[in-house]
Structure 1
Amino acid sequence: MTGAELTVWQRVRRYAVPPRMIAECADRRRAGDWRGACAAGRVDTDVDLADVGRRFGSATAERIAAELAGFAPDLLRWHLPRALGGRTSLATALVFTLAPRVDVVDQDTVALQVELPKTVDGSQRLRLTVAPLGKAPGPELPGHLWHADEAAGLRAAYGGDAQRLPFLTPDGAPVPFDGFATAHGDGAPARAERSANLLTAEHLVDAWREAGLELDDTLPAFRYSHYKVTREQVLGHRLHLVALAPAVRVLARRHAAEGVVLNADWRLRFLFTPDGDTMRVRMLGEDERRSELPVLAEPCYRVPPDLELLYRGLIAPADLHPLVRAALFPAAPDGPVAARGPAFAPVRVRCRGQWHRIDNAGGRLVPLDHTPEEVQREQALKALGGKVAGCFAAQQGWTDGRTRLPRALQDQRRELMQTILHGDTPALLALLDAGLDPHVRDGRGSTLLHLLRCLDHEVLLPRLLAAGLPIDVRDHRKRTPLHVAVGWVGTPALVLALLEAGADPKAEDDNGTSVSDLVEYKGMEYYEDESGENHRDLKLIAKYIEERT
């Protein structure tokens, strides 16, 4: 994993699953309230157990109910793939199957399925449904990634044994890389380390064999040269090799399949075929789709980011999700994850040829090295359209999203926006109580009203309007919060709330597109259920907008 990816994963672990969410999900789960756990974990549920019983039988309904009783939305969110590329958002437009707790499945097996968000910039809410698997089910997530009672299985899935985890000593310290080649024993941790050493030396086949995989390294044929797979690409993919054979055997057995497919990227695909005690692997060409075979989910084949972060010293066991910590470090002290949030602090700014201090206690910038008279003069200059600089330019950048901020303030704003993106409404309310400037904007000019798609609008909308934010405030592309709610996967409830607060559906963005145009032409197509509550709300929205225009 590259340094940039590690930095993003470190930020994911800091913000994407807030400690408050973990605690609330656990409380509701222990109370037997799976719907409450889903609400705390920001999962929209479309599961009616009575309807499941009528459609698929009482035995299926009882099994689904038992799976829901142990469902840990926060644990699932912890393990889901991320967009990366500098973003901490969930990977988009994916559907995963939560592995049914049965021995064998087929296309008629009814299972819980989770849908990930449609955009990286929209709400990070998940959607939980129940349906037959069909002929091409979404990749299957084993129970240790989402079920509280099976979380202890994560240790074995990560290639750990009773003594330690791969790349780490029994007490969690990193194993020096020069010790990988001489790692002793036949346990999975030692084999993972020897395999990693062989990969570094570009001994591809030997590295896979060390992990219990017989790889045919014949490169697949492709019709066009720019599609071709190279040996360097194969070597460059960081697969958790030691975990592959066990995961494939379980999946193949459950689906009664001859093999399992791993889609490393849009070109590089592997076919795993169990053959007695041997696991044979070869790469697939462009004409070998094998869509009838089950697909290994990314969290089952990637090098676990937690192992990488622990190895690099970027997180400690105490920073792990409690269920993950208990699985990986059973001797570690139990307890909640420490609360985390934006680390606001004073910064130094170059101003009039000198270094000045700006306090950012609570998210409101206050120059510390200017007299009240100087502050008043700069405010008057700004009101008259004059250009401010130094400390006052930093103040302006905090609330206009255009003026360049010093690096330290950019970092602090980024941390604030991470809190918002991942839906920590209580943390944002606490920041507002502590003095956060409600007029703060991100680098796109989005205000807190534009970002309501990620938060609990019922609590925040009245407060932000009371703080003086205009309901039709514009971002850098002249989009209003209503534009964003309609076009960026806001909920129908949020759209209606903005309209009822006076948002103008005729307001146009910099392309001349109004919200009415978005509803008519874009059609909010991401809501596909034409019979459910979302469709009903959309019709209300269309009617409301029609009346307003």
Structure 2
Amino acid sequence: MSRLAAMPDDHKRPQRYGVTRAQIARAQRLRREGDWLGACHACGIEVAIDPGIVAERADLADDLRHLVPDLLRWHALRLQRHPARTDWRLKWTAYGARAVTSLARYGEDALYLTGWPDRAPARFALRFGRPPDGHETTTLAGLRELWDDRQAGNLAARCGGGTSLPFFTADGRPGSGPASPVERVVRLFNDFRPDDAWRAAGVEPELTDRIRGWHDTLRPFDAPAAPQALAAARRTGADVVWAHAGEREYFWFDRLDTAAPRLSVVDSRWLRRHPAVELPLTELFWPADFVDLMAGRLGPRDLHPMVAAALFPALPGPEDCGPPPLPPPAPVRVACAEEWHVLEHRDGVLSAPHPPEYLEREAALLALRGPRPTGCAAALLFWRGVLARAPRELREVQELHRELLARVAAGEADTLEAMLDAGLDPHCRSAGSGTLLHLLPGLVPDEAALRLLPRLLAAGLDPDAEDRRGVTPRAAAGEPGANRALAAALRALPRPP
């Protein structure tokens, strides 16, 4: 059973895509060689900062020197699903600002990260200046361990760790050393004793029954993370701090100079009458890595190497850690009519022991509202996006399809190339999401898309095929933030008569 069995579903969605072991190794090698801009490029981060400003600002230059692009990418992608962004009650705070993240403050200016449109969600731009008004909803100003190599080792402290991470030994094995306050809080929380959990975390709760009910629904943060919230509140140096708790409600921490600060929930009228320091929502949560480790969704060796080294100081060979690669497509046995057939990806085709006209006939029958296809036909039509959902018995095909499209959409060029080398049929298409050609603009780095374009065209993918919105790959490549060289290459292709 997960140690976080009582956590809400929205906290259980790990972002495991968008960065590969090869990409991390490439970025770290470039950074060691002194090519910091090359390391950023390898991670899909465009540095849009005037070199003249960097030369004038010693503090900014020092921070850029210690910024680790692959570590920033790892955390930035996971922050896209941060509860501060996904909580439906907080949508108003993130309106139009989903992809702006402040890293450090310099008076009124900031070093901040912006994202591209939905077509390229895994591509970023690093900027300096005053963030656009109304856009800054996520700040990492107090969380330098997520991008600064000087403080990367502080990640364990944010998880309540001392000599080892709660619920783990220092070498990454499940287990407990000396009793950890965090472990006690989690156990109380999972035993449905929320008030006792808050008090064990060092907070005196004054919550209404309705607020207590948030323990069983989506809420800004949990009692197990209260030590994290309390530490963040005390770091401000203020006597009273507040944080968003909903559309019109706010968490209110006071008595911070006592052994048991008080936590209550107030409304906007109270907040107007009692000014206090705002606490960034990002500082009220455990790091996503720790949550995923405790829930069993990630193992120590699945983490970014610097994250693994910070959380597990005795882990052997942390430099070899990283997101697990997608395994090559394996043959799948399918019950087709009264026989068992084997489907396998070979030489760019998902093969089945049927004549070529078989698939066309089944697709035509489906279009004429004929019987729902089964067996080989269902697998082939699902892979090509004709069927929205694969039958339950084709779960292996469905899982490979989902995982591949998710990783490619998150920019994993390495994964797509490796799968094509393994014989993958590139005609995969989810219902409405377009082809792999539609996803090329979001691949990282830029040159990977140019390498893959002729390969996908040779396989028969159509640059003028429309997705559900009527957008073609040619049009998708021309959207803001996309790869200009790729857009030019697609525009140069001959159009059908």
Q: TM-score range by the shorter chain?
A: 0.7 to 0.9
- Aligned-residue offset at 1:414: 0.9
Amino acid at match of 2:60: I
Residue 501 and residue 264 in structure 1: after superposition, are their counterparts in 2 closer, same or farther (change >3 A)? farther
Once residues 21 and 63 of structure 2 are traced to their aligned partners in structure 1, the CA distance between those partners, rounded to angstroms, is 23
Residue 444 and residue 157 in structure 1: after superposition, are their counterparts in 2 closer, same or farther (change >3 A)? same
- Alpha carbons 1:167, 1:311 under 8 Å: kept: yes
Larger radius of gyration: 1
Once residues 437 and 344 of structure 1 are traced to their aligned partners in structure 2, the CA distance between those partners, rounded to angstroms, is 10
> What is aligned with 1:511?
none
- Alpha carbons 1:344, 1:412 under 8 Å: kept: yes
Once residues 135 and 466 of structure 1 are traced to their aligned partners in structure 2, the CA distance between those partners, rounded to angstroms, is 46
- Aligned-residue offset at 1:380: 7.6
Once residues 409 and 380 of structure 2 are traced to their aligned partners in structure 1, the CA distance between those partners, rounded to angstroms, is 23
Partner secondary structure for residue 129 of structure 1? strand
Q: Does 1:465 align with 2:463?
A: no
Amino acid at match of 1:375: P
Once residues 362 and 188 of structure 2 are traced to their aligned partners in structure 1, the CA distance between those partners, rounded to angstroms, is 62
| Residue correspondence of structure 1 range 7-22 to structure 2 within 5 A | 8-9=13-14, 12-13=15-16, 15-22=17-24
> What is aligned with 2:122?
124
Amino acid at match of 2:344: D
- Aligned-residue offset at 1:337: 2.7
Q: Does 1:65 align with 2:61?
A: yes
- Alpha carbons 1:204, 1:235 under 8 Å: kept: no
Partner secondary structure for residue 67 of structure 2? coil
- Alpha carbons 2:465, 2:472 under 8 Å: kept: yes
Partner secondary structure for residue 81 of structure 2? strand
- Alpha carbons 1:444, 1:476 under 8 Å: kept: yes
Once residues 217 and 474 of structure 1 are traced to their aligned partners in structure 2, the CA distance between those partners, rounded to angstroms, is 52
Partner secondary structure for residue 272 of structure 1? strand
Residue 72 and residue 503 in structure 1: after superposition, are their counterparts in 2 closer, same or farther (change >3 A)? farther
Partner secondary structure for residue 97 of structure 1? strand
What stretches of structure 2 of length at least 5 have no aligned partner? Answer: 87-93
Deviates more, 1:318-327 or 1:452-461: 452-461
Which structure is richer in relative contact order (CA contacts within 8 A, separation 6 or more)?
2
Residue 377 and residue 154 in structure 1: after superposition, are their counterparts in 2 closer, same or farther (change >3 A)? closer
- Alpha carbons 2:232, 2:279 under 8 Å: kept: no
- Aligned-residue offset at 1:408: 1.6
Amino acid at match of 1:66: D
- Aligned-residue offset at 1:453: 2.6
Choose which of 316, 319, 322 in structure 1 pairs with 2:305: 322
> What is aligned with 1:539?
none
| Residue correspondence of structure 1 range 498-509 to structure 2 within 5 A | 498-502=490-494
Partner secondary structure for residue 341 of structure 1? coil
Q: Does 1:232 align with 2:203?
A: no
- Alpha carbons 2:345, 2:425 under 8 Å: kept: no
Once residues 203 and 460 of structure 2 are traced to their aligned partners in structure 1, the CA distance between those partners, rounded to angstroms, is 63
> What is aligned with 2:403?
415
Choose which of 315, 318, 321 in structure 2 pairs with 1:332: 315
- Aligned-residue offset at 1:114: 1.4
| Residue correspondence of structure 1 range 517-528 to structure 2 within 5 A | none
Query: TM-score, length-normalised on structure 1?
Result: 0.72
> What is aligned with 1:438?
426
Choose which of 281, 289, 293 in structure 1 pairs with 2:263: 281
Once residues 133 and 277 of structure 2 are traced to their aligned partners in structure 1, the CA distance between those partners, rounded to angstroms, is 9
> What is aligned with 1:301?
284
- Aligned-residue offset at 1:62: 1.7
Query: TM-score, length-normalised on structure 2?
Result: 0.79
| Residue correspondence of structure 1 range 387-426 to structure 2 within 5 A | 390-402=375-387, 404-405=389-390, 406-426=394-414
Residue 380 and residue 96 in structure 1: after superposition, are their counterparts in 2 closer, same or farther (change >3 A)? closer
Amino acid at match of 1:449: L
Deviations 1:288-330 (A, max 9, x none): 56798343242x3223333333334433211111111111111
- Alpha carbons 2:48, 2:126 under 8 Å: kept: yes
Q: How many residues align?
A: 456
- Aligned-residue offset at 1:410: 1.0
Choose which of 423, 435, 442 in structure 2 pairs with 1:454: 442
Residue 286 and residue 71 in structure 1: after superposition, are their counterparts in 2 closer, same or farther (change >3 A)? same
Deviations 1:217-247 (A, max 9, x none): 258xxxxxxxxx5320156544311222222
RMSD: 3.7
Partner secondary structure for residue 113 of structure 2? strand
Residue 31 and residue 489 in structure 1: after superposition, are their counterparts in 2 closer, same or farther (change >3 A)? closer
- Alpha carbons 1:344, 1:361 under 8 Å: kept: no
